[in-house]
Structure 1
Amino acid sequence: MTVGGTEKRVTRRRQRTRANLLDAAFTVFAAQGFGRVSIEEVCEAAGYSRGAFYSNFATLDELFFALYRDRAELIADQVAGALALDGPDLDVPAAVDRVTDVLLLDRDWLLVKTDFLVHAARDTAVAQTLLEHRARLRRAVADRLSRAGTPLPAVLGGADGAAHAVVAAYDGVTTQLLLDRDVEGARAWLGQLLTALLTDGGTPVRTN
């Protein structure tokens, strides 16, 4: 019993250490940029030694990927959860309102995400991580539209095309947010843009 209890305490302590390192790294990356941050700076911000860092991450790149993955999965879960609240039919304007209400529009996250995008553009292995997340986000949107049989503008070419357009709209609005820092304006504009995108623009087509 003692050994098992000790192992549980060690595991919980390590989980807390990892979470604290990720939180500290998020703040430091957002403030300085990924390429300008050292392991020592992350450890100092978190209040840990290099040994604590290396017991959780082999490199700064690994920590950066873990940070991106955690936040990216949160966003995908937010979108999927907001889209799942309707019954068999999907009320597009209401669903868009729910998505924009819960969607993470945090400027610090967008700075970190942009760093990751630039990093990925120069490294095919990193790019794969980013592509996998974006594909998951698109699937969440496309699957929900397909199940509902929601009529979509023909120009989008069906649920998959609509999902690509939704992610592209999010990218555009969040890029503007980096410059003007208007979070509430970004939410309002994203909602208007997605509603218009999914309900207007030509002769609707069924998605199933």
Structure 2
Amino acid sequence: MVTELTPKRVTRRRVRTRANLLSAAFAVFAAKGYGRVSIEEVCEAAGYSRGAFYSNFDSLDELFFALYQERAELIADQVSGAFALDGPDLDVPAAVDRVTDVLLLDLDWLLVKTDFLVHAARNPAVAQSLLDHRARLREAIADRLARAAGRFELPTVLSHVDSAAHAVIAAYDGVTTQLLLDKDVEHARVWLKQLLTALLTDGRRTPE
């Protein structure tokens, strides 16, 4: 009986250790900047040894990608939920309202993401990995839009869901860049809502 349960206890502990490392790294990255943090500082913040770190991650880059993937999946799920409506028609402005009301607009995350983007821009291998992650996010959004495409008509300029997904991500990137400077989350949500509604409806309807 003990032998059967031991692997489960180890698995739970490993999952908990990984989650604690991710949480600690996020806090340290946000406070100091991605490029100014060492593995030792992450371990100290999490209360673990370097051995615990390397049993879960090969590098800080790999740890960051794990953080990025969590948030990429969250954003994709938020988009999916906004467009998951029953009935023959899709009210795009209403769907945009829902997604912008809950979409991740976290200043600490935006600081970390921007730091890492600069780091990746100077390291081709890291840049390619980040491009791969962004491509998966874009594909997830395109998939959600494709499922809803039968219930609304995309503007002519965005007649393909891939183009629409690129536009959605570009709008999100632009709004969050402004948000980093003015720290006005509510204004960012309003502006993102206006942009997405205009993009996905060709300006035919605007949010109130």
| TM-score, length of structure 1 as denominator length | 0.87
8 Å CA contact 1:82–1:99 kept in 2: the answer is: yes
Match of 2:170 in 1: 168
Helix, strand or coil at the partner of 1:90: coil
- Deviation of residue 194 (structure 1)? 0.8
Tell me the equivalent position of 1:186: 188
Residue in structure 2 matched with residue 35 of structure 1 by the alignment = 35
Say which is worse superposed, 131-140 or 41-50, in terms of deviation: 131-140
1:67 and 1:14 map into 2 onto residues whose CA distance is: 17
SS in 2 for 1:152: coil
Residue 97 of structure 1, CA deviation:
0.9
User: How many Å separate the matches in 1 of 2:23 and 2:35?
Assistant: 17
Aligned residue identity for 2:91: D
Distance 2:86 2:171 in 1: 23
1:201 CA drift (Å) = 5.0
**2: distance between equivalents of 1:162 and 1:96?**
13
User: Distance between the aligned counterparts of 1:159 and 1:54, measured in 2?
Assistant: 40
What amino acid is the match of 2:188?
A
The AA in structure 2 aligned to 1:95 is A
Greater displacement, 175-184 / 59-68: 59-68
Provide closer, same or farther for how the CA distance between residues 125 and 89 of structure 1 changes in structure 2, counting only shifts above 3 A: farther
Name whichever of 138-147 and 77-86 sits farther off: 138-147
The reply to whether residue 95 of structure 1 matches residue 134 of structure 2 is no
The answer (yes or no) to whether the contact 2:79–2:144 under 8 Å persists in 1 is no
Equivalent runs, 1:113-124 vs 2, <5 Å = 113-124=113-124
Moved more, 74-83 or 182-191: 74-83
Distance in 1 between residues matched to 2:128 and 2:77, nearest whole Å: 20
Listed as ranges, the matches of 1:2-17 within 5 Å are 2-17=2-17
Residues 173 and 189 in structure 1, CA contact (< 8 A), matched pair in contact too: yes
Equivalent positions of 1:133-152 (< 5 A) are 133-147=133-147, 148-149=149-150, 150-152=152-154
1:43-122 matches, within 5 Å, as 43-122=43-122
Q: Does 1:23 align with 2:17?
A: no
CA shift for structure 1 position 160:
2.2
Number of equivalent positions: 202
Deviates more, 1:123-132 or 1:112-121: 123-132
Structure 2: gaps spanning 5 or more residues? none
Task: Report deviation, 1:84.
Answer: 2.0
Letter in 2 for 1:49: S
The unaligned stretches of length 5 or more in structure 1 are 203-208
Q: % of aligned pairs identical?
A: 82
Deviation at 1:86, TM superposition (A): 4.3
